[in-house]
Amino acid sequence: MSARYGCIFVTSLILLFNSPAFSFPEFDHQYPGWNQMLNKFVQNNGVNYSALKQDQAQLDAFLESIASLQRKEYENWNKEQQIAFWVNAYNAITLKVIIDHYPLKRRGLTGLAFPSNSIRQIPGVWDKISHRVLEKETTLNEIEHEILRKQFQDPRIHFALVCASIGCPVLRDEPFQADLLDDQLDEQIRQFLATPEKFRYDKAKNTLYLSPIFKWFKKDFEQTDGIVQFIKKYVPENVASTISEKSKIEWLDYDWSLNERTGWL
């Protein structure tokens, strides 16, 4: 191809890509592939990591879609679309990290503090291992702390992010979606607070037994009305009417064991 025709070809491409009639496929906020993958591998509050490791095409396709998505498209979304995107991205990346290291094994003396099948056995899982999102390398910590917590300041998000552990909120078998987001987040919280290992109230002692999530992110809950007032919105009326700022708080243990389920596929 001559230089002249080469210039014409390149110029034509530029004009085509900038033409109003030309557009790249828009991001599908219904998350069809991610939805199918969750339906297939998430059940009874657990994930079949063994099966997912053998059949991860849909997960990889979703991760590729969020990696190549252009920021200028993302910036045109509304708040709910952006939150749903980052929560789904965080959870999908977590699944990918787990199956990349599955089966999990204890890593020397530093791993003795946690179960052998724990995400805590993966070095740098939150702050060292990077992933491509919106054409940029990022870590799970950056998604959680620099984007979701800092930019959106909604403590309900803590009950949507899943760290692949029994002590964390359960992974839904459906994606978070903008038009359903409020209901989905509220449902996540109610389910979390209905789990005795994560929340319970002793009326005789006027004591709240809480997941450490409320302690780790205390500042986020204080940005609203505080931990107690937050909880009162999501527990049964007979509990909400009894607990108060005078209620004592004790912290439950956090189960870092893998949120794994097997044998049902």
- Rounded to whole angstroms, the Cα distance separating 56 from 3 reads 45
Q: Give the number of C-alpha atoms closer than 13 A to the C-alpha of residue 49, restricted to the C-beta side.
A: 22
Q: What is the pTM of this model?
A: 0.90
Residue-wise pLDDT for 212-246, tens only, equals 999 999 999 999 899 999 999 999 999 999 999 99
- Rounded to whole angstroms, the Cα distance separating 49 from 170 reads 15
Backbone angles phi, psi at 47, to 5 degrees: -120, 135
Residue-wise pLDDT for 92-136, tens only, equals 999 999 999 999 999 888 789 999 999 999 999 999 999 999 999
166, pLDDT greater than 80: yes
pLDDT of the residue at 20 = 47
Instruction: Over range 24-52, report the average pLDDT.
Output: 93
pLDDT of the residue at 21 = 44
167, pLDDT greater than 50: yes
Chain-centre distance for alpha carbon 151: 16
Instruction: Over range 138-163, report the average pLDDT.
Output: 98
Burial class of residue 160 in the structure, from the number of CB atoms within 10 Å of its CB (0-12 exposed, 13-18 middle, 19+ buried): buried
- Rounded to whole angstroms, the Cα distance separating 149 from 217 reads 10
199 - beta bridge partners? 210
DSSP one-letter string for 59-117: HHHHHHHHHH--HHHHTTS-HHHHHHHHHHHHHHHHHHHHHHHPSP---TGGGTTS-TT
